[in-house]
């Protein structure tokens, strides 16, 4: 008789589905096609945002840059990605200019609206255009502010809320990287 699991019972690790799929088909800020497999054996540190974001994105990109600095040599195993939720304004050159203000080697990703929607769906990201007379171009795009840590090829490992500081995130990422090294 198969084992049954109720909502109050914990599922074995092998049965639990990853909270995100980690797939995307986009264009990087150099104008080249990119997907979750484009970065070889590097882990991915993925954040969704937009270049006209006034508070959350600058704060989180600065924090993630600090995370990468705290990782030291381990940072070479991580490719930070910034996926736009505003493809109408965030073309490759705009993303490249914007990300040049941040350390860490972030690569910006954009694409057609349907491609960005598919990436948002894969990562379960909420983002929706809201009209705002005070904002540049007349709108803002409130969005999920989680950073996702993915294994090479886009397999989910962890996510980090905006409430975590750079030190806590760096420690957790380092633990994942060191576990991967021991498992090789």
Answer yes or no: is pLDDT of 134 > 60. yes
* CATH value at residue 155: 3.40.30.10
- Give tens-digit pLDDT for 135-154: 877 888 877 889 999 999 99
Mean pLDDT of 15-29: 84
Could you list the residue range(s) of the whole structural domain that residue 107 is in?
Answer: 25-183
What gap in Å lies between CA 100 and CA 115, rounded to an integer?
A: 24
Contact (CB, 8 A) for 126 and 20: no
What gap in Å lies between CA 135 and CA 156, rounded to an integer?
A: 34
In a domain, 126, yes or no: yes
Instruction: Using the Cα atoms of residue 172, residue 175, residue 181 and residue 183 in order, give the sign of their dihedral.
Output: negative
Mean pLDDT of 17-25: 85
In a domain, 91, yes or no: yes
pTM of the entire predicted model: 0.86
- Report the DSSP beta bridge partners of residue 84: 49
Banded pLDDT at 15 (limits 50, 70, 90): very low
In a domain, 51, yes or no: yes
In a domain, 127, yes or no: yes
Tell me how many domains the chain contains.
1
């Amino acid at each position: 008789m198969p084992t049954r699991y109720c909502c109050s019972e914990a599922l074995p690790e092998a049965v639990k589905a990853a909270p995100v799929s980690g797939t995307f088909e986009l264009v990087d800020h150099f104008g080249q096609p990119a997907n979750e497999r484009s970065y070889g054996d590097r882990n991915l540190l993925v954040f969704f945002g937009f270049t006209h974001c006034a508070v959350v994105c600058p704060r989180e990109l600065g924090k993630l840059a600090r995370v990468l600095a705290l990782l030291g040599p381990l940072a070479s195993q991580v490719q930070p990605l910034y996926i736009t939720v505003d493809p109408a304004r965030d073309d490759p050159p705009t993303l490249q200019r914007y990300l040049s203000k941040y350390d860490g080697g972030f690569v910006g990703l954009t694409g057609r609206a349907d491609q960005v929607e598919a990436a948002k769906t894969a990562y379960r990201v909420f983002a929706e255009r809201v009209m705002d007379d005070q904002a540049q171009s007349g709108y803002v795009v409130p969005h999920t502010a989680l950073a996702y840590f993915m294994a090479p090829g886009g397999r989910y490992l962890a996510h980090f809320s905006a409430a975590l500081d750079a030190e806590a995130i760096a420690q957790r990422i380092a633990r994942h990287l060191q576990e991967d090294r021991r498992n090789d």
